Amino acid sequence: MINLGLSLYSKGISPDKACTKVSAGLLSLVCDCAVSVRVLELHPFKFFLQLKLCSRSGMFARLNVKLRPALRQAQLSWRHRTQIRGRSDTSATFHLHQDCLELSYGGTPMRFNYVWLRDHCRSAASYSSNTHQRNVDTGSIELSIRPDRTTVEDGHLVLTWPDGHVSKYSLSWLAENSYEVKKQSAVQPRILWNSDIYKKADMPSAKYNKFMSSDDELKKFLQHYLQYGIAFVDDVPATVEATEEVTKRVSLIRETTYGRMWCFTSDFSRGDSAYSQLALDRHTDTSYFQEPCGIQVFHCLKHEGSGGRTLLVDGFYAAEKLRQKSPENFELLATVPIRHEYIEETEGHRNHITGIGPVLNVYPWNNEVYLMRYNNYDRGVLNTVPHDTVQRWYVAHRELTAELRRPENELWVKLTPGKVIFVDNWRVLHGRESFTGLRQICGCYLTRDDIINTARCLGLQALS
């Protein structure tokens, strides 16, 4: 059965007469169908008709071809607002609009642009299943393209284009890739935490030997990391070489101005407060990079003294609290670009690096936070904010800072030789308390893309 809705302009004709003309016109050209027409709405100069066509021989394809001539024969003025709903699969219905196809599947209405549908055709001529790359030339697709034929068959949407090309899409694939579904779904499922939540989760650390030899152990480790933004490996030999090996099991090492693997004490050998015994407030690293480093690795090789506990805070947990309490301040921190800067002039090292971006970075389609730049040490001159926004920005920043500094949000960990921690530098802020004595830390940065790649290849949902 086909349902059609037509917006018709009267031009002096009555609704009853219009029904008679439409029925007669359709029956004369589409003789294998039963046709019923009734008026649904009346307006001063137009009325809306509902047409039901029941095909006696199932000739659905012929209806779309013959519909327009039938309406022309009925001598009615109509706009291109015709909606055709076909039901050839009990789980899906579709409407053809002037600019898109509307598909209802699994209880969710979804709209697909016609150019998008042609561009995303998965036929062998349009897409290589071997390389997973597009073959169709997007620049050659007519921007006014519309399918000549539309059906739903065996769980697939099937479109025939004006040049005869046939595109076939799995309904589940369309649903998975529709904007309507994506805007309601998290790109990366996470468990947001404060200290109490994390401690109650009682997440186990991976064990070095098993971690290095078992993909199942690696998968569990990555699952914990993706959910919480931190993960530990215990019983690692307290050497730079062993630390490098355990990090390479997860991702590629990202070499920076600090080198590939770094090992430092409180000797002020670099122009950074990390090379001291001072306490460090919570922060994210390399906020002055255009793309901050994705993962940070720490391993305390030696500590002959007291203090020096590591502070960890889930920045996304604090950001969501801010969103709930002050959505306008959340929005401000997610839109105003801020400059961060690293200037180093020490013996053997000269650097001047800048990066610009908002404190909170969100995906525009679902407003999910995926990156936080929070580093009060490295924030540069605030000269990217207009005068009438400066005070509001400071208020918003203060409210976020208050959330980050709540004692219940602080997780304190004592790093000891053999315990390696992996920290999501886009999400989890780290700091430390002051310490005494000799403290030697080694570590590195890892490329975010590659740790996510490893997780995907192990079958985990890891998209950001």
Question: What are the boundaries of each domain within the chain?
Answer: 5-80, 92-182, 195-457
What percent of the chain is modeled with pLDDT above 90?
A: 68
Single pTM value for the model: 0.77
The pLDDT confidence band at residue 347, using thresholds 50, 70 and 90, is: confident
Cα–Cα distance measured from residue 26 to residue 81, given in angstroms and rounded to the nearest whole number? 18
Q: How far apart are the first and last CA of the chain?
A: 44
State which H helix or E strand residue 416 sits in: none
Question: Is 30 a residue whose pLDDT tops 50?
Answer: no
What the block records as the tokens of 348 is: 């053997």
Predicted local distance difference test score (pLDDT) of residue 106:
85
**Average pLDDT over all residues of the chain:** 84
Is residue 36 exposed (0-12), middle (13-18) or buried (19+ Cβ within 10 Å)?
exposed
Question: Is 51 a residue whose pLDDT tops 60?
Answer: no
Residue 205: DSSP 8-state: P
The pLDDT confidence band at residue 72, using thresholds 50, 70 and 90, is: very low
Predicted local distance difference test score (pLDDT) of residue 41:
42
Predicted local distance difference test score (pLDDT) of residue 19:
56
Residue 40, classed as helix, strand or coil, is strand
The CATH class given to the 195-457 domain equals alpha beta
Predicted local distance difference test score (pLDDT) of residue 254:
95
Predicted local distance difference test score (pLDDT) of residue 58:
41
Predicted local distance difference test score (pLDDT) of residue 25:
53
Question: What is the maximum alpha-carbon separation in the chain?
Answer: 97
pLDDT tens, residue by residue, 374-390: 999 999 999 999 999 99
Is residue 42 exposed (0-12), middle (13-18) or buried (19+ Cβ within 10 Å)?
exposed
Predicted local distance difference test score (pLDDT) of residue 277:
76
The CATH class given to the 92-182 domain equals alpha beta
Predicted local distance difference test score (pLDDT) of residue 345:
85
Predicted local distance difference test score (pLDDT) of residue 86:
41
What the block records as the tokens of 366 is: 């679902």
Question: Is 47 a residue whose pLDDT tops 80?
Answer: no
Average pLDDT over residues 191-196: 98
Residue 64, classed as helix, strand or coil, is helix
Which tops the pLDDT comparison, 78 or 330?
330
Other C-beta atoms within 10 Å of 277: how many?
Answer: 16
Question: Is 401 a residue whose pLDDT tops 70?
Answer: yes
What percent of the chain is modeled with pLDDT above 70?
A: 78
Question: In this structure, are residues 426 and 295 in contact, taking their beta carbons and an 8 Å threshold?
Answer: no
Predicted local distance difference test score (pLDDT) of residue 22:
55
